[in-house]
Structure 1
Amino acid sequence: MRVLQFGDSVLPVGAFSFSNGLESAVQLGIVQDTATLEQFIGTALHQAATSDGIAVLAAFRAARDDDLGRIVDADFAVANRKLNEEMRTMTVRMGRKLAEMAEHVLGPSVCSSWLAAIRRGDAPGCFPIGQALVFSSLGLSEQDAFAVHQYGLASMMVAASLRLMRLHYLDAQAILFRVNSEAEAHYKQIASASIDDMAAFAPVMDIVASAHVKATVRMFMN
């Protein structure tokens, strides 16, 4: 039930405000139909696994060791790999909201120490780190934390697609089902990686996210 609660798409951290670059991809014609939408989301998930996903595991393991220094290192590793302003805004805004919610709901925990570091300006407060710390505090597994991280991104983008495209809601769910089937393979790929192995190379994703900054019509914050 904790996995369901903290993996829910209506978790009040503001995910509905973001599209993870999908809005510009639709405007630029990169995403036009169900096939290109699935490809775009699949690319985003692979990029997330090999970058933010590695940080999720690093922060989760650091939380189990009660090592705030390693948690902050993973936090900065995420922030430093966000190449454009809107992506940084998304991750730190959602991260801080998750930390504040965790302190209110869970009480004193490693999330509290992280939130204090954010408030002091000693940590950026990236969302994937918050997910790792919440799941560690709940005594859940790192596989659960990684799965929720990947599912949350896919769910955010699928929900955005229904507002951006002519897409049947059943087709949207079919896409979500298929892209989520890659989560186990992604976990196995990065389970032994360190934050030094983080890689987010996906040029088209970065270009469309950058184009969104100057868009004259915008539904989402990125």
Structure 2
Amino acid sequence: MSINTNTGFDEPHRLLHLVRVLQFGDSMLPVGAFSFSCGVESAIQVGLVHDVETLKAFVETSLNQAAHCDAIGLAHAQRALMEGNREQILRVDREILNRKLNDESRVMTQRMGKKLLEMTVHVIDAEVLTWWLGNIKAGATPGCFPVSQALIMGVQGVTVQEAIAMHQYGVAMTILSAAQRLMRITHFDSQKILFEVNKSIPDFCELAANADISEMASYTPLIDILAAVHVDAHVRLFMN
């Protein structure tokens, strides 16, 4: 399957890209996201998140953190794909995992990255995706979720910023979907939060798309503390 790097797409191509982003960014995509809460379960248990405003603040913080880490890695992985630099793809994958300080976030990104590829190879015929899944199964690379997203979007000609936007939307939806099952919040509240936090995604896309790989960082002590709390929790609905 050829990789289209042309950015001067006509309207049918743009619409197809939109549809592809909708498909692979769907919160119901069977990649295991329903098993994870991105830390919001512990945040609710300790009282840090307890209403609409505190939940919104948690989502905004998580999007900011993702923009400064996973989204930067996604951008560099997708550019490496376009350049045919597979060693760089492997390097970016390791860089992302090395910035996951707690075990639960490592499990989350690797499990979802692998499940996404296992599903996609049945949908898209692309040698690079088969190569990537083979490396994951062989233990030659962690297979982080953002890198898998980058490769899947890249082979379809979706732009880097479109792929980052998809990733950011997924972060917000994972948290809000989990919160829906953990606290008193209506679907109307969730959609209002999503609508409002989405306003920041274009700026986060711009930041991540233009950042150097060395700028990728995941320094969010509170989230790591919440992850530690979650490991020892007596009752857990989610894996993280």
Structure 1 length as normaliser, TM-score? 0.98
In structure 1, distance between residues paired with 2:86 and 2:129 = 10
Which stretch has the larger CA shift, 125-134 or 106-115? 106-115
In structure 2, distance between residues paired with 1:190 and 1:133 = 17
How far is 1:149 from its partner? 0.4
**AA matched with 1:210:** A
Question: What secondary structure is seen at the aligned counterpart in 1 of 2:168?
Answer: helix
Instruction: Tell me whether 1:96 sits opposite 2:114 in the alignment.
Output: yes
In structure 1, distance between residues paired with 2:44 and 2:110 = 25
Alignment deviations for residues 93-152 of structure 1 (CA, whole Å, 9 cap, x no partner): 000011111211102332221111112211101001011000001111111110010000
1:57-206, aligned counterparts within 5 Å?
A: 57-206=75-224
**AA matched with 2:44:** V
Gaps (5+ residues) in structure 2?
1-18
**AA matched with 1:160:** A
In structure 1, distance between residues paired with 2:197 and 2:238 = 22
Structure of higher CA gyration radius:
2
In structure 2, distance between residues paired with 1:113 and 1:66 = 13
Alignment deviations for residues 54-92 of structure 1 (CA, whole Å, 9 cap, x no partner): 000000101111211111111111111111111101000
Contact 1:68–1:114 (CA under 8 A) maintained in structure 2 = no
* Percent of pairs with identical residues: 49
In structure 2, distance between residues paired with 1:66 and 1:11 = 28
Q: Which residue is 2:229 aligned to? A: 211
**AA matched with 2:64:** H
In structure 2, distance between residues paired with 1:36 and 1:45 = 14
RMSD: 0.9
- Return the match for 1:2 from 20, 41, 45: 20
**AA matched with 2:182:** L
Moved over 3 A (4+): none
Contact 1:66–1:110 (CA under 8 A) maintained in structure 2 = no
Contact 1:109–1:137 (CA under 8 A) maintained in structure 2 = no
Question: What secondary structure is seen at the aligned counterpart in 1 of 2:121?
Answer: helix
Alignment deviations for residues 8-64 of structure 1 (CA, whole Å, 9 cap, x no partner): 001110101100000000001110101110001100010000000000000010111
In structure 1, distance between residues paired with 2:219 and 2:128 = 31
Alignment deviations for residues 161-194 of structure 1 (CA, whole Å, 9 cap, x no partner): 1101100110110001111111111122232212
**AA matched with 1:187:** C
**AA matched with 1:30:** L
Which stretch has the larger CA shift, 103-112 or 28-37? 103-112
Structure 2 length as normaliser, TM-score? 0.90
Question: What secondary structure is seen at the aligned counterpart in 2 of 1:182?
Answer: helix
Contact 1:58–1:74 (CA under 8 A) maintained in structure 2 = yes
In structure 1, distance between residues paired with 2:99 and 2:216 = 9
Count the aligned residue pairs.
222
